[in-house]
Structure 1
Amino acid sequence: MTSNSRQVALVVGASRGIGRQIAIDLAKAGYTVVVAAKSTTPPSDLANISPFPPDPNSPQSTITTVAREITLAGGHATALPVDTTNPASIQQLVAKTIDLHTRLDILIYNAGAIWWAPVASTPLKRFQLMQRVNVEGLYAVLQAALPYLKGVYEQQQQKGYQKEQQGGPRIVVVCPPIYSRFFRGKTAYAVGKVGMSVLVKGLGMDFVREGVLGDGGVGGMAITGIWPAVAIESGATGRFTRNDPSYARDLRKATIFSDAVLTMIRAPASVVNGQLELDEDFLRSHAGVTDFSGYSVVPGSTPRRIMPAELPDLTVREQDDEGMRTDSSKL
């Protein structure tokens, strides 16, 4: 069982790529990390991987190998399998996390299913799978985890934690800013991913209404969305580099994403809550990073930015007018 003084981070979708890097860097930063995804490695196969897969973006990389990589480096990690299409599996994941570590401070949702094609070329089953993994999976994880995250917040408030002390519970979701160009050519995928972004915005509003953002320091609760400004080396982008090795010149290492996530969970809750951020832009504005060349997969290359330089403001003139609010759960 983990000491109550060590914060616990649950990373869903941590078997390879971005999720793996986030899990590793959270462990380096002193968190106990629960590495969660569907893929595991049987003990008989693990003996043939020494000490961990040579390609961290390959199917050989699983929650088993990632947890071992963390522990071999002196960190604290537990590998727990989860099927994000199965609410019962998600409930078991969160319950097991609490059973093992007694608390939950950080939740990262990186699980995702991808199918980029026009509507006419996207089978209904593929569309349904994406919604189950992306937006429905996130919703189920939030429902399961929120009571424990709020419990940590309440305990910190009772102890009188101040701005400079231990950070409050945070949720970080891998989801995009909302703008119309994102829908083009991948509408079925965008439905779920933008749905995740709506969850970030809406739950962030709930946090404001509930008054859990704290006193302006790092001690409050917050939820934030994050998306890459430049394509990142991962299992998804690996298919392109296999077909055309020159594509690697337009990729960045996953460390830019994990650096942004670590900066995000250490920022004041009121600054990041309900925001949809881009990794590069967030590091530039909140960590003072101006040189991103070290993140390039190919040294000396200048990867092409895939996201707009400016994004639309989703607020309206009547933003503060809530009208007649209705809570169906209380009817």
Structure 2
Amino acid sequence: MSSTTPPKQVALVVGASRGIGRQIAIDLAKNNYIVIVSAKTTSDPTLCTPFPPDPNSPSSTINTVALEITSTGGTATPIAVDTRSPASIQALVTATIALHGRIDILIYNAGAIYWAPVAGTPLSRFLLLERINPQGLYATIQSCLPHFAARGWRARIVVVSPPIYSRFFRGKTAYAMGKVGMSVLTKGLGMDFEKAGWAGMAVTSLWPATGIESAATVTAVAGEEGKRELRKATVFSDAVLAVIRAPVERVNGLLEIDEDFLRREEGVSEFGRYSVVEGAEPRRIMPRVLPRLEVEEQDDEGVRVDSNELREREGKAKL
């Protein structure tokens, strides 16, 4: 009897040109995944000097990240996407399926940031945050679901969004509305998976416990002292890999923090290696204890209405 090697799993990383997304793409490739490196920023990587570029600079694009991966023996393809456009998202998913016939892992790291009080956040900025953050995520998942179905509902989705707690809203309400909306999608979609009996599907939200070195944080912190408050992006990518390895029932619908998941599920107790400044201990910016979202009546669905079924019945009644 001849044995066949199963095909490599395919990971689609949206928002992979810099920072956390770049590190996730690189580490997935190191772990033998085929990676689709996707974001809006493109370039000619052969013109990049020095190479590889600063991972938190505009010189880092989906093309340089893909070349970083392939030059060390990994498999990666850069595909540009504008997450403000459902058509662009659909084209990304279609191209991925055309190349590899499958998507096993979806990582949604794309995001827009604007922190200001409501009075200082123009409507145009709020709408941009909504389009890129929750709407972009929703459109990406919607585009992937038919392909997950075609392969028997066996895939993992990881969303970069936070646990839900009130302090997160302070001073950045417009941004928080979108990011928390992404976390609501994680909880609700996870419930959909459970109700449908899709035991191979899991969606998980992950958020950093401390500041992570990225284009945004490097701009925000001041000098070497500010960098003492940051961890390397590898802490987050390690947590993503741990989530993907974990049993579905442990991570589906979970809103988790990178440090806490690594500590609890992987037995990591020493995080010093992740500090940007050697010997520094970055301040934890997330609460150590988060509120539970479940209520006593959690299993009571009341009168459950499916709008699609309702519309179908109304349509038949008009005939």
Distance (Å, rounded) in 2 between the aligned partners of 1:328 and 1:238: 46
Is the CA contact (8 Å cut-off) linking 1:229 and 1:307 kept in structure 2?
yes
Q: Which residue of 2 aligns with 1:68?
A: 67
Taking the TM superposition and a 5 Å limit, the aligned residue runs for 1:213-252 are: 213=199, 220-241=200-221, 243-252=222-231
Cα distance per residue 1:89-132 (max 9 Å; x no partner): 00000000000111100000000000000000001100000000
Distance (Å, rounded) in 1 between the aligned partners of 2:150 and 2:264: 31
Give the aligned CA root-mean-square deviation in angstroms: 1.2
Taking the TM superposition and a 5 Å limit, the aligned residue runs for 1:111-260 are: 111-154=110-153, 168-213=154-199, 220-241=200-221, 243-260=222-239
Is the CA contact (8 Å cut-off) linking 2:42 and 2:80 kept in structure 1?
yes
Q: Which residue of 1 aligns with 2:92?
A: 93
Distance (Å, rounded) in 2 between the aligned partners of 1:126 and 1:186: 12
Give the CA deviation at 1:149: 2.0
Letter in 1 for 2:91: Q
Alignment length, in residue pairs? 306
Give the CA deviation at 1:330: 1.6
Is the CA contact (8 Å cut-off) linking 1:225 and 1:274 kept in structure 2?
yes
In structure 2, list runs of 5 or more residues that go unmatched.
Answer: 311-319
Distance (Å, rounded) in 1 between the aligned partners of 2:124 and 2:206: 27
Secondary structure class of the residue paired with 2:231: coil
In structure 1, list runs of 5 or more residues that go unmatched.
Answer: 155-167, 214-219
Give the CA deviation at 1:150: 2.9
Letter in 1 for 2:269: T
Q: Which residue of 2 aligns with 1:51?
A: 51
TM-score, scaled to structure 2: 0.94
Cα distance per residue 1:10-29 (max 9 Å; x no partner): 00000000000000000000
Distance (Å, rounded) in 2 between the aligned partners of 1:244 and 1:153: 50
Cα distance per residue 1:13-67 (max 9 Å; x no partner): 0000000000000000000000000000036xx32434321x1010000000000
Letter in 1 for 2:51: P
| 1:37 aligned to which of 15, 20, 39 | 39
Give the CA deviation at 1:4: 6.6
Secondary structure class of the residue paired with 2:127: helix
Q: Which residue of 2 aligns with 1:164?
A: none
Q: Which residue of 1 aligns with 2:276?
A: 297
Cα distance per residue 1:260-279 (max 9 Å; x no partner): 00010010001000000000
Is the CA contact (8 Å cut-off) linking 2:161 and 2:179 kept in structure 1?
yes
Distance (Å, rounded) in 1 between the aligned partners of 2:59 and 2:180: 30
Is the CA contact (8 Å cut-off) linking 1:4 and 1:102 kept in structure 2?
no
Distance (Å, rounded) in 1 between the aligned partners of 2:81 and 2:162: 24
Letter in 1 for 2:218: G
Is the CA contact (8 Å cut-off) linking 1:230 and 1:252 kept in structure 2?
yes
Is 1:311 aligned to residue 311 of structure 2? no
Letter in 2 for 1:52: P
Is the CA contact (8 Å cut-off) linking 1:85 and 1:137 kept in structure 2?
yes
Is the CA contact (8 Å cut-off) linking 2:25 and 2:35 kept in structure 1?
yes
Secondary structure class of the residue paired with 1:96: helix
116 and 259 in structure 1: CA distance in 2 versus 1, 3 angstrom threshold: same
Identity percentage over the alignment? 64
Taking the TM superposition and a 5 Å limit, the aligned residue runs for 1:78-89 are: 78-89=77-88
Secondary structure class of the residue paired with 1:115: coil
Is the CA contact (8 Å cut-off) linking 1:90 and 1:140 kept in structure 2?
yes
Secondary structure class of the residue paired with 1:224: strand
Letter in 2 for 1:227: W
Letter in 2 for 1:23: A
Secondary structure class of the residue paired with 2:211: coil
Distance (Å, rounded) in 2 between the aligned partners of 1:20 and 1:177: 23
Distance (Å, rounded) in 2 between the aligned partners of 1:82 and 1:128: 19
TM-score, scaled to structure 1: 0.91
326 and 286 in structure 1: CA distance in 2 versus 1, 3 angstrom threshold: same
Secondary structure class of the residue paired with 1:221: strand
Give the CA deviation at 1:238: 1.0
Secondary structure class of the residue paired with 2:119: helix
Is the CA contact (8 Å cut-off) linking 2:52 and 2:64 kept in structure 1?
yes
Is the CA contact (8 Å cut-off) linking 1:105 and 1:152 kept in structure 2?
no
Between 243-252 and 227-236, the greater mean CA deviation after superposition: 243-252
Secondary structure class of the residue paired with 1:169: strand
Distance (Å, rounded) in 2 between the aligned partners of 1:263 and 1:150: 24
149 and 224 in structure 1: CA distance in 2 versus 1, 3 angstrom threshold: same
Letter in 2 for 1:82: V
